[in-house]
Structure 1
Amino acid sequence: MINLKSTCTWALITLAASATLLIAPAADASTTEAISTTQVASVSDVLLPGQILKPGQYRRSQNGVFTLLMQADGNAVLYKGRTALWGTMTNRRASSLVMQRDGNLVVISGRTRIWASNTAGSTNARLAVQNDSNLVLYNSRSKPVWTRSMVLGTLGVNRALKPGQALFSTNRIYRMMMQTDGNLVLVKNGTTPLWHTATGKNPGAWAIMQADGNLIVYSPANKPLWSSKTAPHAGAVLQMLNTGNAVIVYGRTTIWQTSTEGR
């Protein structure tokens, strides 16, 4: 059943603090020292345009509870104390987190971009580590354009959509929404359903883009309810396009789609 009443509003999505990780990333050897709350040095809670977090560097919320750490293993992780709440799932050693001046927050390994918030165009945006556990990108007018509960453009490998979370097209017109009733629904302009997995009546179900290339909706008991049947294509990702089509891409090849382009 397509129940748009169960979908979250834009305000809820932008302000939600829940993470999109299936499994919290493990801390590396440098974590304990770097995120110690006993340090007396003042640490900024904001990553400003053009600033970079190199391995071992971090930003901390003003209340001292939450820390965004760029780990030596290449993963940028948000911690509450020693508990991981969110991460970029990048895991490529010696990577850096960069707040680009074009508004895109990226993880870069050498010259290769391996993760991005997909918020380019929000010139001079800044990243804030907030006291409410959220990571928020604010544009130059102090309007939120991204939070850690949002996924823009691409749902990467091992990334999950929990109930109430969505994969948005970068133009914000289309979204693949994991409804609280268990249905994964593609919606236009927040009101018009275009496609769904027909997995309603399963409250608490969630979706994940698995490492084997399969997009699966699981019940709360981790029973598969629906699958894109695209395994084995290790490294494939789900993309929500500005055209209205949701596709699974393996390299440059589309291996699955909702066939909703232009609707």
Structure 2
Amino acid sequence: MESAPAEARTVAVSDTLLPGQKLMTLQSIKSASGVFTLTMQRNGNVTLLQRGVAQALWMSGTYRPGSVLVMAADGTMRIIYGRTQIWSMGAASPQAKLVLPNTGLLAIYNTRGKAVWNRHMVIGTLMAGAMLRAPDALGRDVTMYSLNHVYTLKLLTNGNMVFLRNGTTVLWSTGKTQWPESSAWIDVNGLFGTYSRDGDGTWDFHTHRPGTVVQIRNDGHFLLINGRTIVKTFV
């Protein structure tokens, strides 16, 4: 019997993606226990699944079949379609590696063994498809941080999205407080918004500029930016 072609196999022989290594369609890394699996799906969305749990614990939010997840040598995790980078996550840390431990806390570790990113974090820039989440029963909360970790953008348990300094001082908020387990993202058309657990919009700002991203800068500026053009400054 002929073996299955490479694109039809799920490769789950390691819990680590080293610098320069990649996951192509249906390839995976798996925790040593076998409970958690990170897979590049056929549709281009990278998902972290737990055995026995139907919902993904974490996902890239990218839906472009044929994409490849690459652990870059600079310490960032990237999704590439052809020659185009469509998504990135992590923090600059040369020769860092992506590890999926038995706890399920997917993380990027630097050469000193310190985690510089984990699945509960977005650092610096929120690209189209990447998602922020309020705490929920599955522990899927995701918070956005400035590179210096002084400023954060997060969804509270009540669904209010707040921009904080030092984790305590509220600099800005949506004021939407009746929507537990909410999420937030910016889409490919430049619509930045928050959504209820049922997917209904609860707050938004539309830039009408495809390719716009959300940034939090070390000086405390929270903004929407398209290329080099600042489209909206919230703070």
Q: Same fold (TM over 0.5)?
A: yes
Partner-residue secondary structure (3-state), 2:157: coil
Q: 1:78·1:84 contact (CA, 8 Å) conserved in 2?
A: no
* Matched residue type, 1:139: N
* Matched residue type, 1:239: Q
TM-score by length of 1: 0.71
**Alpha-carbon distance between aligned partners in 2 of 1:57 and 1:221, rounded to the nearest angstrom:** 30
Q: What residue is the counterpart of 2:29 in the other structure?
A: 59
Q: Structure 1 residues 84-93 or 179-188, which shifts more?
A: 84-93
**Alpha-carbon distance between aligned partners in 1 of 2:191 and 2:105, rounded to the nearest angstrom:** 29
Q: What residue is the counterpart of 1:17 in the other structure?
A: none
**Alpha-carbon distance between aligned partners in 1 of 2:133 and 2:209, rounded to the nearest angstrom:** 23
Q: 1:221 and 1:88, CA in 2 relative to 1: closer, same or farther beyond 3 A?
A: closer
Is 1:74 the equivalent of 2:44? yes
Q: 1:109 and 1:225, CA in 2 relative to 1: closer, same or farther beyond 3 A?
A: closer
Higher relative contact order (Cα pairs below 8 Å, separated by 6+ residues)? 1
Q: What residue is the counterpart of 1:161 in the other structure?
A: 132
Q: 1:67 and 1:224, CA in 2 relative to 1: closer, same or farther beyond 3 A?
A: closer
Q: 1:118·1:152 contact (CA, 8 Å) conserved in 2?
A: yes
Identity of aligned residues (%): 38
* Matched residue type, 2:215: Q
Q: What residue is the counterpart of 2:138 in the other structure?
A: none
Q: What residue is the counterpart of 2:229 in the other structure?
A: 253
Q: What residue is the counterpart of 1:148 in the other structure?
A: 119
In the TM superposition, residue 50 of structure 1 has moved relative to its aligned partner by: 2.8
Gaps of 5+ in 2: 1-6, 136-141
Q: What residue is the counterpart of 1:8 in the other structure?
A: none
1:62-107 CA-to-partner distances (Å, cap 9, x unmatched) read 1112222234543333233594623323333433222222211212
Q: What residue is the counterpart of 1:27 in the other structure?
A: none
Which of 86, 100, 119 is residue 91 of structure 2 equivalent to? Answer: 119
Gaps of 5+ in 1: 1-29, 36-41
Q: How does 1:191-230 map to 2 (within 5 A)?
A: 191-200=168-177, 202-220=179-197, 222-228=199-205, 230=206
Q: 1:34 and 1:217, CA in 2 relative to 1: closer, same or farther beyond 3 A?
A: same
**Alpha-carbon distance between aligned partners in 2 of 1:195 and 1:214, rounded to the nearest angstrom:** 19
Q: Structure 1 residues 157-166 or 173-182, which shifts more?
A: 157-166
1:24-43 CA-to-partner distances (Å, cap 9, x unmatched) read xxxxxx67x527xxxxxx71
Q: 1:77·1:84 contact (CA, 8 Å) conserved in 2?
A: no
Q: What residue is the counterpart of 1:43 in the other structure?
A: 13
Q: What residue is the counterpart of 1:94 in the other structure?
A: 66
Partner-residue secondary structure (3-state), 1:117: strand
**Alpha-carbon distance between aligned partners in 1 of 2:79 and 2:199, rounded to the nearest angstrom:** 31
In the TM superposition, residue 157 of structure 1 has moved relative to its aligned partner by: 2.3
> How many residue pairs were aligned?
221
1:103-162 CA-to-partner distances (Å, cap 9, x unmatched) read 112122343322211411x22221111223331111222221111221112222243322
Q: What residue is the counterpart of 1:176 in the other structure?
A: 153
* Matched residue type, 2:121: M
Q: 2:60·2:129 contact (CA, 8 Å) conserved in 1?
A: no
Partner-residue secondary structure (3-state), 1:34: coil
Which of 80, 89, 99 is residue 108 of structure 1 equivalent to? Answer: 80
TM-score by length of 2: 0.79
Which of 199, 213, 217 is residue 237 of structure 1 equivalent to? Answer: 213
CA RMSD of aligned residues (A): 2.8
In the TM superposition, residue 219 of structure 1 has moved relative to its aligned partner by: 4.2
